[in-house]
Amino acid sequence: MSTVSNPVLPGCYPDPSICRVGDDYYLVASTFEYLPGLPVMHSRDLVSWEQIGHVVDRPGQLDYTGIASSGGLYAPTIRYHDGQFWVVCTLVDQRDGSRGGNFLMTATDPAGPWSDPIWLESFGIDPSIFFDDDGRIWVHGTRLALEPRWHDQTEVWVRELDRETMQWVGPETVIWHGAVEGVVWSEAPHIYKVDGTYYLIAAEGGTEFHHAESVARADSVTGPYVGNKGNPVLTHRHLGRKHPVVGAGHADLVEAADGSWWAVLLAMRTYGGYHYPMGRETFLVPVVWEDGWPVFAPGVGMVPSEVEVPFAGEPTPGVVQGGASGTVPPADLRWTAVRALPTEVATPAGEGWDLPLRAATLADVEVPAFLGLRLQHPDADLVAQVAVDLAEGEEVGVAVRQSEKDHVRLAVTPEGDTLRARVVHRQRGVETVLGEAVVTGAGTLTFGVRARGVDLELLVGAGDATPVVVGTADATLLDSVATGGFLGLWLGVYGTSNGAPTHTVAHVAHVDYTPAT
């Protein structure tokens, strides 16, 4: 037996979905505007996880042009059937809805390569896929109700898919509107078949404080579905906003090889008041069956801080579980960029990167020269060493990113024969200087972001000089509670020419991410 601490995937790994193949478990999560998209995690025991690849990991698979923050890839589902892995997902373009939609990708190896997207003639979000015993394939998902009785009422639909043609077969059936009258955003539906009965689990209440998980069952995949009288079967909303974990929901079930049942789900750890700078994270809870219904976290009724897994061996948590420390080389699968792959905006160079500056800034809905890592710990340090010869109007530095409209950056710019550092907070599109200083000395610049809870310090030094704090920021002004959207914070290095043509390259010798706990 082994014990795993929750969350099992700290940092912004929301909307988890899981499947088992033999003794192996595979999990995917949402990535929104960041690429590579849809990380694929692997475990042999639900306790120790490692990342083995991404579903979207090569140019041309999906078009991210113009997709704003908190758009992009929403809520994937991963399943395995007849020698093949399937992922269904949604590409959300929040501009006018003219692009994007539901799609599926397949692979024989979950580490990849994955196929190009096969677009489905459906609309909405949070698609899932169910393979019945008779070989029939059923896709289901969520959309705004076509004939709503209240604001933000959604409906869950299901329809058969032909495996050979990837076309719909037969009519669509609406099977669920939520367990609670007047509930908003009944979403994240998954169908399972257990002992001949079909079960539908779905989140509802919105993916924030009122998030909850409900369950229904039926004798047919198309229903009618009857809800559990105890719905919602899992929620933290009754615990209040001061509880350290909020927003539990968006669950997916998996049966272990020993016959036990488990659920992965998202929730948020709060600190600094009702704020969650690390975003929506992946948690694990045990599930048992009583009277023909699943019971989440039996005897506890909420997401526990630790979970005992009887069949697990000695835990060996990897970097995706918060075990990261020190230099993050380019081959590390945690690296992300915005609307492009990291290797499309930079070139690996030893333990670091050669990062050509771009005209786009962090405020533009374009592809900036930004390489980032999820914030996975309330207390952590990011250190980047950068050598660059800047032209007038150019800047290089580090950033704490939420979106185009909301981020904090430490920007170093040339000013005559000196360099000036400024910490700038962009809040809802308006920029405020939080601190500035002249950078003294010569040679490689050492940048730092020091997170201590919600207190952020941004530092820089040149050559052998000890980096000094240029400005401080408040993470509670950057998380999704304050700004909207669905993301946690990213830390990273960036460079821009602020709209001018440029040939400048920032030589990033290395980037270190170190938990301070």
Nearest to 47 by CA among 318, 244, 291, 274: 318
Residue 185 token pair: 């955003």
| 3-state SS record for 428-488 | CCEEEEEEEEEECCCCCEEEEEEEECCEEEEEEEECCCCCEEEEEEEHHHCCHHHHCCCCC
Phi, psi of 481 (to 5 degrees): -65, -40
3-state helix, strand, coil split of the chain in percent (to 5) is: 5, 50, 45
Distances 31 to 86, 305, 487 between C-alpha atoms, Å = 17, 25, 9
Total Cβ atoms within 10 A of residue 182:
10
Please confirm, yes or no, whether 457 is among the known catalytic residues: no
Count helices and strands in the chain by DSSP H and E runs: 2, 39
- Distance between CA atoms of 436 and 420, rounded to whole angstroms? 7
- Side chain identity at residue 121, one-letter code: E
Nearest to 265 by CA among 222, 211, 219: 211
Q: Which residue has the tokens 């950078």?
A: 439
Total Cβ atoms within 10 A of residue 165:
8
- Distance between CA atoms of 457 and 234, rounded to whole angstroms? 38
Please confirm, yes or no, whether 172 is among the known catalytic residues: no
Contact 51, 334 (CB under 8 A): yes
Residue 233 token pair: 């079967």
How distant is the alpha carbon of residue 149 from its chain centre? Answer: 32
Strands (DSSP E) found in 180-304: 187-194, 197-204, 212-218, 226-227, 234-235, 245-255, 261-269, 281-290, 293-296
Signed CA dihedral, 115, 117, 121, 124: sign only: positive
Choosing from 33, 45, 93, 187, the catalytic residue is 187
- Distance between CA atoms of 325 and 377, rounded to whole angstroms? 11
Give per-residue burial for 58-95: e unless 16+ CB within 10 Å, then b. eeebbebeebbbbbbbbbbbbbbbeeebbbbbbbbbee
- Distance between CA atoms of 149 and 473, rounded to whole angstroms? 44
Catalytic residues: 15, 187
